[in-house]
């Protein structure tokens, strides 16, 4: 209110200041901004993630992990007897120890079978230095990123135009509704056996599975992006002399970008989550393949290190996407 | 500013607009609406909701094709939206992904107009609407009143013969609204554009309207026409003073009671049904 008054009266410097703070997304009364508020419980717009408590949670998780490996640790003699068994499979380890039965699975939560934080760190260093399964860690990571990238690429290239078509024409909406609604609920992994038979093993079925995972998400994101276009905007563009093509490229597309970007983030998350299973289809390189390659060698430390790397990369990708979103779509939510 | 080539008289001839309802039946949004509007008039449309004022504006803009009758501007029939008629909406019609400058130059850029000429024109328009130095800002960084200034400038950039405004000040607070009313009057007198403005506010319709139609619902029609002196006076006299003058107050009460009676009638009808 005061902002409007000031700016309407010719943009005083105070008015400019409030404009600038708005740009950074600070709102008066935001977190810590107004400690004089008496109603706090239920004021969800003032809730922000507290960094201190995030650190507490990370430490707590670390302690739990460490405690778990201690609490369910093996008897010392068992661990000693199993020294050097690293490359022998689980059955062989059990055969040597008569106590190894259904009732003693907890024994496998030993520092060796359930790797401690330190073991996992050592495995990560080993991966970093030597790689695993005849490939460097970078080769595994790159193979996985490439598959996800390709699947996403085709998902966007095909999904966005289809979504736009569905948002712009009742006929095309009707036509595509059937496949979209039918295929969307299918878990990509349910198609895995089919894809192996159809496309063989290796890169091709993996990429196609990721494409399948991304496609429906992108179609729906683009469709709802078109539908958020305010009719006034479209009409204004026509009144300003825009052609249909110009309305599509200069109004509908930029208007849909925030939704499309949300779709990208969701699809990337889903693809990353599907990746490990997609790499079950006989790929030799890749983070998922690496984890499966570690299994017959009983290398739980490598497996867990792989899981940690996948988790960290997932977080990193989301951070990058958020950064890009803030840079590329600063108008998000401000229309 | 140059006179637009296709400018001239707006002629509305016995326009009908019937909406078919999805559940069957129909609503007569406009019935036999006819009027002529010379170049350079400022027409305000006022009336209770359902009187068809926004429908009429949308027909003038070319967003709706009437079910009967004809609308011509400068002799040529209006069949769709066009650059000769600029639109200003209540809100949300600016392109928030573009800067103020790019919003204003949108029309010329769609025509691939000469770049240096366009940027000089944008600079002029920014000053005209009181936004000098704000060209680089993004529209979402501006207050509601400033955004409507951008909307005005954007539509002036195409140099239309006629400007159509659909409750352009409806979302603004009272004080900003008064300032914007004065700006609209200034732009009107400086550019000599024909303006058609829809509003809910009796005071606004009286103050801005050089000619005022009070419209009535069921079926939507022009109930009464007023030729008013206030818009021209508003350019010289202090607006607040004008709005408390006896002539203004009398007219305001007269129109208020007219609209009040219409509302009563509608309530009565609904009571019967």
| A272-283 confidence digits (pLDDT tens) | 988 888 887 678
> Do A103 and A188 share a structural domain?
no
pLDDT given at position A170: 95
Do A88 and A144 belong to one domain? no
- Ordered alpha helix ranges (H), chain A: 2-8, 13-23, 51-71, 76-81, 90-96, 117-130, 137-168, 170-183, 192-199, 203-227, 231-239, 244-246, 253-278, 287-294, 300-328
Q: Is there a contact between B140 and A254 if contact means CB atoms under 8 Å apart? A: no
Q: Three-class SS of residue B114?
A: coil
Torsion of CA A73, A78, A79, A83, to 10 degrees: -160
> Look-up: residue for tokens 């559940």?
B23
Contact call for residues A177 and A234 (beta carbons, < 8 A):
no
- Partners of residue A251 in chain B, C-beta under 8 Å: 95
- Which pLDDT does position B271 carry in this prediction? 56
Q: How far is CA A257 from CA A111, A211, A221, B33, in A?
A: 49, 20, 9, 42
Lowest pLDDT segment from A88-92, A239-243, B151-155: A88-92
Between CA A235 and CA A239, with CA A237 as vertex, the angle to 5 degrees is: 70
Number of domains in chain A: 2
Average pLDDT score over residue span B39-44: 94
Q: What's the start-to-end Cα distance of chain B, in Å?
A: 54
Are B81 and A239 inside 8 Å of each other by CB?
Answer: yes
CB A175 within 8 A of CB A232: no
Q: For residues A147 and A293, state if they share a domain.
A: yes
A238 and A312 inside one domain: yes
R_g (Cα) of chain A, nearest Å: 27
Of A5, A235, A334, Cβ closest to residue B87: A235
Residue spans of alpha helices (H) in A169-250: 170-183, 192-199, 203-227, 231-239, 244-246
Is the pLDDT at A309 greater than 60? The verdict is yes
Do residues A254 and B102 make contact, with C-beta atoms less than 8 angstroms apart? no
| A270 lies in the same domain as A305 | yes
Neighbour order of strands in the sheet with B68-73 = B26-37, B10-20, B68-73, B76-77
Q: What is the ipTM of this complex?
A: 0.91
Q: What is the β-pairing status of strands B211-216 and B221-227?
A: antiparallel
Find the helix or strand (DSSP H, E) in which B198 lies. Answer: strand B194-198
Burial class (CB in 10 A: 0-12, 13-18, 19+), A286: buried
Which residues of chain A have a CB within 8 Å of the CB of B158?
Answer: 240-241
Counted across chains A and B, CB pairs separated by less than 8 A come out at 104
Task: Find out whether A111 and A254 touch, Cβ atoms under 8 Å.
Answer: no
Residue A247 domain-assigned? yes
* CA distance, residue A21 to nearest chain B CA (Å): 9
Instruction: Indicate the pLDDT class of residue A45, thresholds 50, 70 and 90.
Output: confident
pLDDT score of B1: 38
For the cut 50, the answer to whether the pLDDT of residue A287 exceeds it is: yes
In sign, the C-alpha dihedral spanning B79, B83, B85, B87 is: positive
DSSP for A95-116 reads HH-TT-SGGGGGGG-STTTTT-
Q: Which domain holds residue A323?
A: 137-328
Calculate mean pLDDT across residues A162-172.
Answer: 96
Whether residues A104 and A191 share a domain: the answer is no
Say whether the peptide bond before residue B102 is cis (omega within 30 degrees of 0): no
Tell me, yes or no, if the pTM score tops 0.95.
no
Residues A88 and A224 in one domain: no
Whether A148 and A237 share a structural domain: yes
Going from the C-alpha of B51 to that of each of A112, A128, A131, B215, B256, the distances in angstroms are 81, 74, 76, 6, 15
CA A239 to chain B, closest CA, distance in angstroms equals 5
Around A40, how many Cα atoms within 13 Å sit in the side-chain half-sphere?
Answer: 11
Same domain? A104 vs A216: no
Same domain, A106 and A173: no
Which of A16, A228, A236 is best to mutate for the B interface (most B CBs within 10 A)?
Answer: A236
Is there a single domain that holds both residue A103 and residue A223?
A: no
How high does pLDDT run on average in chain A?
A: 80
Interface of A with B (CB under 8 A): 1, 3-5, 7-11, 15, 19, 22-23, 230, 232-233, 235-243, 246, 250-251, 254-255, 257, 329-331, 334-335
**pLDDT band for position A15 (cuts 50, 70, 90):** very low
For domain B10-84+162-272, which CATH number applies: 3.50.50.60, 3.40.50.300, 2.60.40.10, 3.40.1520.20?
3.40.50.300
Share of chain A above pLDDT 70, in %: 76
Give the pLDDT mean for A25-46: 68
CA B89 from chain centre, in angstroms, equals: 8
Q: Is residue B234 within a helix (H) or strand (E), and if so which, with residue range?
A: helix B230-234
d(CA A162, CA A103): 55
Give the pairing type, strands B211-216 and B42-46.
parallel
Residue B188 tokens read as: 């009107």
Residue A230, min C-alpha distance to chain B (Å): 7
Cα dihedral sign, A10-A16-A17-A18: positive
Residues in chain B: 273
pLDDT in tens, A50-91: 999 999 999 999 999 888 877 665 444 444 445 544 444 455
Sheet order of strands, B211-216 included: B85-88, B162-166, B194-198, B42-46, B211-216, B221-227
B215 phi and psi, to 5 degrees?
Answer: -105, 155
Taking the CA of residue B147 and the nearest CA in chain A, the distance in Å comes to 10
Residues of B in Cβ contact (< 8 Å) with A4? 143-145, 172-173, 175-176
**pLDDT at residue A30 greater than cutoff 60:** no
pLDDT band, very low/low/confident/very high, at B107 (cuts 50, 70, 90):
very high
Token pair listed for A241: 């002399």
Q: Is A30 within a domain?
A: no
Chain B positions in Cβ-Cβ contact with residue A22 (cut-off 8 Å): 141
Which among A9, A23, A233 is the nearest to B92, CB-wise? A233
Considering only CB atoms, which chain A residues are within 8 Å of B80?
238
In chain B, where the domains are located: 10-84+162-272, 92-159
Q: Which of A4, A232, A329 sits opposite B173 (nearest CB)?
A: A4
Q: Are residues A210 and A261 in the same domain?
A: yes
Q: For residue A291, is it within any domain?
A: yes
Q: Which residues of chain B does A14 touch, with a Cβ-Cβ cutoff of 8 Å? A: none
Kindly tell me if the per-residue pLDDT of B163 is higher than 50. yes
For residue A16, is pLDDT > 80?
A: no
Three-state secondary-structure class, residue A285: coil
């Amino acid at each position: 209110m005061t902002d409007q008054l000031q700016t309407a009266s010719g943009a005083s410097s105070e008015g400019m200041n409030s404009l600038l703070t708005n740009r950074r997304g600070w709102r008066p009364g935001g977190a810590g901004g107004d400690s004089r508020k008496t109603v706090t419980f239920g004021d969800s717009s003032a809730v922000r993630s507290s960094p201190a408590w995030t650190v507490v949670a990370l430490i707590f998780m670390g302690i739990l992990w460490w405690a778990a490996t201690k609490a369910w640790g093996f008897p010392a003699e068992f661990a000693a007897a199993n020294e050097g068994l690293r490359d022998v499979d689980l059955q062989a380890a059990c055969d040597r120890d008569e106590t190894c039965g259904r009732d003693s699975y907890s024994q496998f939560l030993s520092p060796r079978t359930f790797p401690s934080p330190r073991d996992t760190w050592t495995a990560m260093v080993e991966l970093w230095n030597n790689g695993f399964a005849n490939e460097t860690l970078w080769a595994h990571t790159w193979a996985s990123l490439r598959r996800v990238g390709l699947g996403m690429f085709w998902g966007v290239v095909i999904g966005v135009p289809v979504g736009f078509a569905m948002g712009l024409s009742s006929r095309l909406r009707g036509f595509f509704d059937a496949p979209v609604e039918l295929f969307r609920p299918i878990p990509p992994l349910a198609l895995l056996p089919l894809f192996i038979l159809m496309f063989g093993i290796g890169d091709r079925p993996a990429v196609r599975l990721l494409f399948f995972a991304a496609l429906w998400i992108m179609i729906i994101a683009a469709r709802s992006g078109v539908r958020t276009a305010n009719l006034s905007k479209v009409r204004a563009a026509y009144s300003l002399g825009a052609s249909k093509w110009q309305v599509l490229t200069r109004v509908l597309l930029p208007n849909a970008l925030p939704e499309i970007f949300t779709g990208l983030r969701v699809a990337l998350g889903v693809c990353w989550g599907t990746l490990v299973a997609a790499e079950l289809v006989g790929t030799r390189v890749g983070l998922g393949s690496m984890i499966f390659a570690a299994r017959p060698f009983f290398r739980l430390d490598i497996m867990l290190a792989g899981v940690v790397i996948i988790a960290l990369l997932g977080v990193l990708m989301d951070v990058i996407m958020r950064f890009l979103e803030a840079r590329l779509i600063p108008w998000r939510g401000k229309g | 500013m140059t006179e637009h080539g296709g400018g001239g008289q707006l002629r509305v001839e016995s326009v009908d607009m019937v909406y078919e309802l999805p559940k069957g039946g129909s609503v007569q949004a406009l019935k036999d609406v006819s009027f002529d509007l010379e170049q350079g008039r400022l027409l305000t449309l006022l009336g209770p909701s359902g009187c068809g004022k926004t429908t009429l504006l949308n027909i003038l803009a070319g967003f709706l094709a009437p079910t009967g009758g004809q609308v011509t501007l400068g002799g040529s029939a209006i069949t769709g939206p066009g650059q000769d008629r600029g639109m200003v909406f209540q809100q949300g019609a600016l392109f928030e992904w573009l800067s103020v400058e790019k919003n204003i130059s949108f029309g010329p850029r769609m025509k691939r107009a000469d770049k240096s000429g366009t940027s000089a024109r944008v600079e002029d328009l920014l000053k005209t609407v009181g936004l000098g130095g704000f060209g680089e800002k993004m529209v979402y960084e501006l207050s509601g009143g400033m955004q409507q200034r951008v909307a005005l400038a954007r539509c002036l950039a195409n140099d239309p013969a006629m400007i159509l405004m659909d409750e352009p000040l409806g979302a603004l607070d009272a004080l900003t609204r008064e300032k914007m009313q004065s700006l609209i009057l200034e732009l009107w007198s400086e550019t000599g554009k024909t303006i058609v403005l829809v509003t809910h506010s009796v005071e606004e319709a009286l103050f801005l309207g050089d000619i005022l139609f009070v419209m009535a619902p069921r079926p939507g029609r022009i109930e009464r026409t007023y030729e008013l002196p206030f818009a021209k006076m508003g350019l010289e006299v202090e607006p607040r003073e004008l709005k408390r003058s006896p002539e203004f107050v009398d007219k305001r009460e007269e129109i208020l009671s007219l609209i009040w009676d219409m509302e009563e009638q509608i309530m009565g009808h609904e009571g019967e049904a």
